[in-house]
Amino acid sequence: MKEYSITVVPTNNPAILKFEANHQLVKFKNYEFKNIDEAKNSPLAQQLFYLPFIKTVYVSGNFIGLERFDIVAWDDVKDEVAQQLVEYLNAGEPIVNEEEIKGKLPVTVYAEVTPNPAVMKFVANKKIVPTTFEFKNIDEAKGSELAKQLFHFPFVKEVFIDENYVSVSKFDVAEWDDITLELREMIRDFLADGKEVVSSESVIQKSAEAPKTQLQNENLDETSKQIIDILEEYVKPAVASDGGNILFKSYEEESKTVNVILQGACSGCPSSTFTLKNGIETMLKNMMGDKVNEVVALNG
């Protein structure tokens, strides 16, 4: 029987630690569990959730990523957790009850036009990533096999992936009528094969780079938090339906300027300036009063 050992590896996020094993833990895919109910197919994750400080459990090929609540510091409990994992694994207990993938998974993908004529949105009938990912070129896409394959098409300029869709930005050398079917079938086949859209490593890295929501940033002032609240509740759902995303960048108190970042179909869209000025800017002025004078897109 295999003998397991665990190495504790820090990440950029002090709330997340990786517990790397010396043997493979799962075969077919990576897993993310937010609570004990989601972990019904993982006896290991269920046991970990009995620890009151465990917030999220990631299980990948050879490591377990754990995110903690703020009630403890990792330095106080990491050795104990590592020891528990070693004892669990060496007892031969199941990690995740995986079923071998046989044949194609039932996945549908449809193409949807966006306000940006250079971007097409490909929507799946299932969740494909836990958060947003933007790739400007193939070098940035090293953590996403799907994005890398898309960049092999000479007409693909950028790729933006959200929970259940992929937005593809094209160069002018091709027309959507000529390439949409090919892209849709490629994305559908990729998902139907059960392949990983974005690597678990990349998901954990992104979680480690920033708070899960911008409101968790303790350095923000109250005005900035109010602006983020409005963007999250009223603006994000609208731009997501168009295949894009909006992120709060900064608030300049002296000039009363709100700086935002537009992603996906919203980035570089001919109508984005109109939307920014007559939609988002007007909304923030109405809701924030004299605290907002202008909204500027840093890459729109």
- List pLDDT tens digits, range 1-55: 679 999 999 888 888 999 999 988 887 677 888 999 988 889 999 999 999 999 9
Query: Worst-scoring range by mean pLDDT, 12-21, 133-142, 224-233, 257-266?
Result: 257-266
Q: Please, what is the Cα angle at 216 between 283 and 222, to 5 degrees?
A: 50
- List pLDDT tens digits, range 78-118: 999 999 999 999 999 989 887 654 556 778 899 988 888 88
pLDDT score at 239:
78
* Cα–Cα dist 275/287, whole Å: 17
Give the residue-averaged pLDDT of 60-66: 88
- List pLDDT tens digits, range 235-294: 888 777 777 788 888 888 888 888 888 887 677 666 666 666 667 888 888 888 888 888
Categorize the per-residue pLDDT at 212 as very low, low, confident or very high, splitting at 50, 70 and 90: very low
Q: Residues 244, 263: contact at Cβ < 8 Å?
A: yes
Categorize the per-residue pLDDT at 69 as very low, low, confident or very high, splitting at 50, 70 and 90: very high
Categorize the per-residue pLDDT at 217 as very low, low, confident or very high, splitting at 50, 70 and 90: low
Rounded to the nearest integer, the mean pLDDT of the chain is 85
Q: In what order do the strands lie in the sheet with 133-135?
A: 109-113, 119-124, 165-170, 156-162, 133-135
Residue 166 class from Cβ within 10 Å (0-12 exposed, 13-18 middle, 19+ buried)? buried
